Amino acid sequence: MEVKTIDGFQGCEKRVILVSCVRCNSQGDLGFLADYRRLNVALTRAQYGLVVVGNRETLEKNPLWQGWLKFVDDHDLQVQRTRSANSIATELQGTVALSCATSSVGAASSSARLEGIEAVRWDEVAFKQDIWPLRAYAYCGEDVHLLSGFLELTPLQGIDPEAVKLNLRVLRFLRLCDYSVEDICTILAHASAYFLDAWEQCGNRMEAGEVGNVLACLLFVAHCYAQDETCPLSVWHKHLFRKYCPLKVLNSAVMRLMEIRGYLLRISDSDLSRRMCHLHSSIRRFGSIDPAALGRLGSEGSLPTPRNLGNGYGDKT
């Protein structure tokens, strides 16, 4: 469980969120809670469940919160009104231990990894002109830098808006599947290498929108090769490709891309090292990569290659 201020939560999502509205006064002063941007962040980041705890009489004195509370009433979303903190504790019949990490490297890295979109250093984003209009689709600020770093490893000079949207959604999908940042970098490194062959053979025939689909398909192929635990193509189709094509067509596209590679998905240690170094450097300041891994990469010039899955593409297609 993580504890964050609303300002520190921008660009993130969680399955269940509890928002504490601590203000309670006769003047109706909500302080920072009166800002519509903070209200938007507070109420739109829960994927499955949102619990808001606060003093209704105080909140209703603000027009923004008053409108939201009316929406709650109109849709019968309110669970319980209580008069005291003691009654809340009685009704919940349980406690949840909250902790706010201050020195744990792992927890601190997780917090840094999920910095909001405002944390993006746009002057360092090579594909700024393409990603900026679609920044709202990024799961976190780090994904903007990852996507730009990924695209820099390809021959592309620009990318279609729909392609940006789709590949930001792929990064979000991988995070929600609990792949680590190191895993995601490995997937991106392999996919960027695979794209070179697809571009060399079909680049002059690819439409702008098709490039994004090819990149996303190659990310699926790369994740099947680089990861021991993978998501079936049907799951990728359901969450990412359903609006683009039927599952059968997607499966054929994946097989065609693998055919272009000669069904050989391993890349050389030196190529993998170079690509991983580039991706790591693009997100180094977020602190989400283990410094020891960065040290090994710099000193040894290579990283361990992924486990060979026999036929090179797993059993998920």
CA-closest candidate to residue 142, choices 285, 298, 316, 295: 285
* Position 67 confidence tier, pLDDT thresholds 50, 70, 90: confident
pLDDT at 139 exceeding the cut of 80: yes
- pLDDT value at position 35? 76
Q: Which residues contact 212 (CB under 8 A, 6 or more apart)?
A: 159, 160, 162, 163, 164, 165, 166, 167
* Position 5 confidence tier, pLDDT thresholds 50, 70, 90: low
Which contacts qualify for 156-160: CB closer than 8 Å, 24 or more apart?
Answer: 156/211, 158/127, 158/129, 158/130, 159/127, 159/130, 159/208, 159/211, 159/212, 160/208, 160/209, 160/211, 160/212
Fold of the CATH domain 7-92: Rossmann fold (3.40.50)
Where along the chain do its domains lie?
Answer: 7-92, 111-300
CA-closest candidate to residue 276, choices 295, 306, 308, 303: 303
CA-closest candidate to residue 98, choices 178, 32, 10, 4: 4
**pLDDT per position as a tens digit, 126-138:** 898 899 888 888 8
CA-closest candidate to residue 138, choices 116, 107, 163, 121: 116
